[in-house]
Chain A
Amino acid sequence: MAKELSPAPLPITNRRLQKKHSFKTLKEKWQLYALILPAFLFLAIFAYGPMYGVLIAFKNYIPSLGIWGSPWVGFKYFQQFFSSYYFWDLLRNTLGIQVYELAIGFPLPIILALAINELKTGWWKKFTQTVTYAPNFISVVVMGGMLIAFLDPSTGIINHLLGVIGIKPVSFMSDPRWFKTVYVLSDVWQQTGWGSIIYLAALAGVDPALHEAAIVDGASRLQRIWHIDLPAIVPTMVILLILNVGNLFSMGYEKILLLQNPLNLSSSNVIATFVYNQGLINGEYSYAAAVGLFNSAINAILLIVVNHIARKVSDTSLW
């Protein structure tokens, strides 16, 4: 700003700035370091601390001996996990839910964004956005409560509505076959609108001149969406796809934990809930930490591989 006001003495200002810089380097630097200090301490303790603590996966953790003092056991807990009868079930459930979610939950926000983008600016567009974003703010617990209430075989509204068209009551919550669908569709209900925001932003950046030219050339709306709008959001799609595929093994399990019951366990038991139950309920810390480490290791590898493929196939990648 000062530069704009007085363009003439600019070189002097710069020289003076540099001089002061070297003069006050030490004196100035500590203040910026002081600003990052709280974040540094926080991450060092609560992000890097547990990374050290993950050592217990290779040890037989005994609280009184501490992390370092507990005896080493090598890969014992990993072997125990791989050879357990539930290993493949957990893997299948984790991947099953996530792939299901990706297949439905990934394209829907794109379609919704393309559709909203076609609406003329006005109250109806605003209303559509406000309504579809809203479920994002409903807490997991309320969502879980809603599902349990709505899907109840005798009192739930869904089964009453199904009864109207002659379908016998389904016990959605206790039937393992329904668990994944209930989980995925409720996620879609909650997240589709919110997920469309990022695509709408990319669509807002499309040059209107492209559409005008296409209209003059006689392109239909569908053709314009396909040839103009869609290419504009491809980079966003790729980034989100990388993140989604990379996170296949790090699912949010707070909702699963709420919806899980002994009857649907064969379908709802995923690696993350297994870690919770083994570690925090049964107190087998080392074993649970090993399973958790296995999970995050797969996750990191997956992310690197997917990012690599994305960089080869398209120009977009995370790093």
Chain B
Amino acid sequence: MHTSKLIKDTPTDRIFLFVLYIFIGLAVLIVLYPLIYIISASVSSPLAVNSGKMWLWPVGFNLDGYKVILQYGDIWRGYMMTIFYTISGTMVSLFITIPCAYAISRRDFAGKKWFTNFMLITMFLSGGLIPTYLLVRNLGMLNTVWAIIIPNAVSVYNIIVTKSFFQSTIPWEMQEAAKVDGASDFQIFFRIVLPLSAPIIAVMALFYGVGQWNDYFNSLVYLQNKNLYPLQMVLRQILVLQDMQQGSATGSTISQSAAQAAFSKEQLVAVIKYGVMIVSSLPVIMVYPLLQRYFVKGVLIGSLKG
């Protein structure tokens, strides 16, 4: 990075570098350890996991957890719903975000200023949870897939990021020249700008897609029909609610056999637990390293404009 090779590091610099590497190493370790633990726990015997014998590498290797997950219908229905929500939601988001960002990136667009203000206001003021819920209910979207796809389809922040991309990467002269040649705005947008915008479309698809994949809150608010639940809601039942139910059950007095049954159930849950964490995060985890530079690019374009 720096041209420090020209002049040798002083002793204080060497001590500093030593501390630095320890700091970075520690940071990496803290981030990595829970992730490795989850992977190991998902293929270890529940007894070893719960007793603390398994702390880094798998102990009592078995795939029982994954076998149970494979037969767990709710998870796979949730998976299908999540794929559906992610694809359709991302498409709606892109359909609204990209054209709008292009229009307000045009310096000759008369409506640019008021529309930008119209958007920015919504970043600072909002009606809040309850009025939004009532609106969705009055529109008849409650308990339908539309409630997951539409009401949160657009983030103004993403529109502004996309706008910055258009302004900084697509030469205005090129569009002007096309205009002189008699191209309409639609033609400029579809034939010239869109073909040059693959990077920003990828970034936006990733931002919206990952957001949709990981979201549970909209489903919690808008859906009652369990058949429409996305994966994250199914996970919530397994990871969060089941745990709490058992927590309250152990507090009351229960017969010995019931306690025993609860015990084995608890262990089973513990093993599925780590497996479902992996199964649900797998698509994002696999996609992330390949597309890391796109994600980073998205953050950076956003920071240009503050």
9 pairs from A and B in contact (CB 8 Å cutoff): A1-B177, A35-B99, A53-B134, A132-B31, A139-B213, A142-B239, A160-B55, A198-B299, A300-B124
**Contact indicator B239/A144 (Cβ below 8 Å):** yes
Segment of B58-66, B115-123, B197-205, B253-261 engaged in the interface with chain A: B115-123
| A113-170 interface with B by 8 A CB criterion | 115-121, 127-128, 130-135, 137-142, 144-146, 148-150, 154-155, 157, 160-161, 163
Any chain A CB within 8 A of the CB of B195?
A: no
Question: Which B residues contact A (CB, under 8 angstroms)?
Answer: 1-4, 6-7, 9-10, 12-13, 16-17, 20, 23-24, 27-28, 30-32, 34-35, 37-38, 49-52, 55, 95-97, 99-100, 102-104, 106, 109-111, 115, 118-119, 122, 124-135, 150-154, 156, 159, 171, 173-174, 176-177, 179-180, 184-186, 189, 210, 213-217, 220-221, 232, 235-236, 238-240, 243-244, 247, 270, 273-274, 277, 280-281, 284-285, 288-289, 292, 295-296, 299-300, 303, 306
**Cα(A135)–Cα(B6), bound, Å:** 38
**Contact indicator B303/A289 (Cβ below 8 Å):** no
Write the chain B residue with the least CB distance to A145: B239
**Cα(A280)–Cα(B2), bound, Å:** 56
**Contact indicator B159/A39 (Cβ below 8 Å):** yes
**Contact indicator A189/B30 (Cβ below 8 Å):** yes
Taking a contact as CB atoms closer than 8 A, the residue among A20, A149, A154, A280 that contacts B273 in the complex is A149
Write the chain B residue with the least CB distance to A300: B124
Any chain B CB within 8 A of the CB of A312?
A: no
In the A-B complex, the 8 residue pairs with the closest CB atoms: A50-B127, A145-B239, A53-B131, A160-B52, A39-B100, A139-B214, A292-B128, A50-B131
**Cα(A212)–Cα(B152), bound, Å:** 49
Could you say which of B6, B10, B24, B151 has the most chain A C-beta atoms within 10 Å of its C-beta? B24
**Contact indicator B31/A53 (Cβ below 8 Å):** no
Chain B residue numbers with a CB within 8 Å of A221 are: 4, 9, 13, 16-17
Segment of A26-34, A84-92, A93-101, A176-184 engaged in the interface with chain B: A26-34
Given contacts A43-B122, A46-B150, A293-B128, contact A35 B100 (CB under 8 A): yes
Chain B residue numbers with a CB within 8 Å of A128 are: 24, 27-28
When A and B form their complex, what is the total count of cross-chain residue pairs whose Cβ atoms lie within 8 Å?
Answer: 296
Chain A residue numbers with a CB within 8 Å of B285 are: 134, 137
Interface residues of chain B: helix, strand, loop or mixed (majority): helix
Write the chain B residue with the least CB distance to A53: B131
**Contact indicator A254/B216 (Cβ below 8 Å):** yes
| Least CB distance, B72 to chain A, in whole angstroms | 15
**Contact indicator B55/A161 (Cβ below 8 Å):** yes
**Contact indicator A197/B300 (Cβ below 8 Å):** yes
**Contact indicator B240/A145 (Cβ below 8 Å):** yes
Binary contact track A41-64/B, C-beta < 8 Å → 1, others 0:
011011111111110100001000
Given contacts A292-B128, A293-B128, contact A35 B135 (CB under 8 A): no
Taking a contact as CB atoms closer than 8 A, the residue among A39, A112, A208 that contacts B96 in the complex is A39
| Least CB distance, B92 to chain A, in whole angstroms | 9
**Cα(A158)–Cα(B115), bound, Å:** 51
**What would 6 more interface pairs be, CB under 8 Å, given A50-B128, A132-B31, A157-B37?**
A20-B179, A39-B119, A134-B31, A148-B240, A197-B300, A292-B128
Chain B residue numbers with a CB within 8 Å of A61 are: 134
| Least CB distance, A260 to chain B, in whole angstroms | 10
**Cα(A35)–Cα(B104), bound, Å:** 9
| A172-214 interface with B by 8 A CB criterion | 174, 189, 192-194, 197-198, 201-202, 208, 211-212
**Cα(A211)–Cα(B12), bound, Å:** 17
Chain B residue numbers with a CB within 8 Å of A149 are: 239, 243, 270, 273-274
Given contacts A119-B24, A155-B50, contact A31 B185 (CB under 8 A): yes
**Contact indicator A163/B52 (Cβ below 8 Å):** yes
Binary contact track A236-261/B, C-beta < 8 Å → 1, others 0:
10010000000000000010011001
Binary contact track A268-295/B, C-beta < 8 Å → 1, others 0:
0000100110011000010011001101
Taking a contact as CB atoms closer than 8 A, the residue among A52, A198, A208 that contacts B2 in the complex is A208
Could you say which of A4, A239, A288 has the most chain B C-beta atoms within 10 Å of its C-beta? A288
